[in-house]
Amino acid sequence: NAGVTQTPKFRVLKTGQSMTLLCAQDMNHEYMYWYRQDPGMGLRLIHYSVGEGTTAKGEVPDGYNVSRLKKQNFLLGLESAAPSQTSVYFCASNILAGNYEQYFGPGTRLTVT
Amino acid sequence: DAKTTQPNSMESNEEEPVHLPCNHSTISGTDYIHWYRQLPSQGPEYVIHGLTSNVNNRMASLAIAEDRKSSTLILHRATLRDAAVYYCILRDRDSGGGADGLTFGKGTHLIIQP
């Protein structure tokens, strides 16, 4: 049981390039989330999904797109990277609605130059 | 979600108890109090949560004030591995089925001295 995994662990992009971050969970969780964390700050929610085929916007969705084609995977896309998107990205999952603990991945450190 | 207030940092000695405070004066009756921690260069991990009564688990204890306007996370015997940022987060029991994610503040940076 690997829990929540993220690919890649590190990435450097040039401004305007695109990339996709992959999150996978093997716990059969319905809910999945993408957060970003800037230095010295708490995490902020980018997008989330309440089930396969569904996505919704979080607090800071601009510049990102997501897809949940399979229940176990949640993809975060940057179509045209900007330096302001330099951050650490965390994926998380939740088994069900309500007050259940969220499980987080190890993070992806992205630098946009 | 209601706002929480935590000290920016705290320092404690190894093998001593640590009490991490959190104020949440605008808490509503349906808000659960959650604690997460983030070890250096890792994703956050769940610690504990509660509604009204004090809670214990293998990691920590959560003491909730009678008026629920504050709570304290208690690490009974801190180790160097407990050095982390601790986040106190309120989560509405009825918040869209939990679909709105967690709202993180800056948390408390806990330093453990050997």
pLDDT one-digit tens code per residue, A29-84? 999 999 999 988 889 999 999 999 999 999 999 999 999 999 999 999 999 999 99
Residue of A nearest to B48 (CA): A101
Interface touch B101/A45, C-beta < 8 Å = yes
Using a CB–CB cutoff of 8 Å, tell me whether B45 touches chain A.
yes
Whether omega for the bond prior to residue A8 falls within 30 degrees of 0, making it cis, is: yes
User: How confident is the model over A9-22, as a mean pLDDT?
Assistant: 97
Residues on chain B touching A21 (C-beta within 8 angstroms) = none
| Residue A97: band (very low, low, confident or very high) from pLDDT cuts 50, 70, 90 | low
Cα distances (angstroms) measured from residue B95 to each of A30, A82, B31, B48, B111: 16, 32, 9, 19, 33
Interface touch A42/B97, C-beta < 8 Å = no
Asked if residue A23 has pLDDT above 90, the reply is: yes
Using a CB–CB cutoff of 8 Å, tell me whether B102 touches chain A.
yes
Phi-psi group of A40: left, alpha or beta (phi > 0 → left; psi -120 to 50 → alpha; rest → beta)? left
Residue of A nearest to B44 (CA): A104
Over its length of 114 residues, how does chain B's per-residue pLDDT go in tens digits? 568 999 999 999 999 999 999 999 999 988 899 999 999 999 999 999 999 999 999 999 999 999 999 999 999 999 999 999 999 999 887 665 456 688 899 999 999 999
Using a CB–CB cutoff of 8 Å, tell me whether A28 touches chain B.
no
